[in-house]
Amino acid sequence: MAKNPGLAFDEKYFQNVNVNASCIEKLTNEIIETVDGCDFFDVQEKRGNGGKIDWLIQAIELIDLTTLAGDDSRSNVARLCYSAINPIPSKIVKQAGTELSIAHTKCAAVCVYPACVGYVKESLDLVEKEKRPDIAAVATGFPTGLFGLESRLQEIRYATGEGANEIDIVIQRQLVLRGEWEKLYEEIRQCKQVCAEAGACMKTILSTGELGSLNNVYKASMVAMLAGSDFIKTSTGKESVNATLSVGIVMCRAIRDYYRLSNKTIKVGLKPAGGLKTFTHACQWIHLVNTYLGSDWLNPKLFRIGASSLLDDVIKELAKSTLGRPIKMEDYLFDE
């Protein structure tokens, strides 16, 4: 899936950027108000964007189902993999009907620490290839990135050697805060080179809540894409401020500008992560991407949502829309 070869570093692509924070806040509020509107799904269906069930299914298919806990083990990773492969209880599948083709729905990827990649591969190797989510690993000193470059590169090699085909790297935020853009570019470029050697997609985590300003969010986004990032990602999920719609708008603007800079040949993906727990959150981000990047980006090759608990809320909403009642434990028992 890796697709961005990168471009030569040049500060002219971002040095004069000036993000209007009040304008971004207004656009953010518009997204929230639109999604909160009682007729949101009716309007979307009339526009050819699908009804509520379509949005629920799409949300599931965009999730990088994640566990990044200190007590991760073979057993809980195996359970996560099962959820990613079979996210929808069979009772809901049967009730929804085959016309929705939800029986084959799966999450986009399973995301874990490098040491757990082998557990994911072990679980996914037991199912047919077309049913397997991708295997993503956080790397390069996650979540801080405060390690020597060579050790960060070695961690990528380890994760891909274990079976990861997607790597979520983290940047050293101090390089952004000090304006050392060329050094940031070079470090990301070297990470991309190692990922490319293994045929792995690279997502670059910007930790936007720790970059100091929206101007820096735009600049870091552009530098990451120039260096070859296939996705730019908001957060590690460990910061005090994680994925916000405001930084999402700014990152979408950078992605669009990079697309134009490449003569409309390179589409870079977006991955919000951290604090996305409800179906409403997912709808806000899907609507944001559709509004600022277009429907071409509304697929797992260009848009992911990093989350650990979002799937549970989506399934609850799906149950209400298909079974006519909240999901019950019995719906999971003896699931096919």
In Å, what is the CA distance from 126 to each residue of 66, 90, 147, 185, 238?
20, 20, 35, 39, 32
Give the residue from 279, 213, 278 showing the smallest Cα distance to 250. 213
Active site residue 271: yes
Beta bridge partners of 305: 63
From the list 134, 168, 230, 331, the catalytic residue is 168
- Alpha-carbon distance of 142 to 115, in angstroms, equals 12
| Half-sphere exposure at residue 330, Cβ-oriented, CA atoms within 13 angstroms | 3
3-state helix, strand, coil in the chain (%, to 5): 50, 10, 35
Tokens of 74: 């073979």
Count other Cβ atoms within 10 Å, centred on residue 296.
13
- Alpha-carbon distance of 227 to 188, in angstroms, equals 6
From the list 192, 203, 267, 271, the catalytic residue is 271
Active site residue 71: no
From the list 233, 267, 313, 331, the catalytic residue is 233
Tokens of 279: 């179906």
Q: Is the dihedral of CA 222, 225, 227, 232 positive or negative?
A: positive
Active site residue 335: no
Catalytic residue set: 168, 233, 271
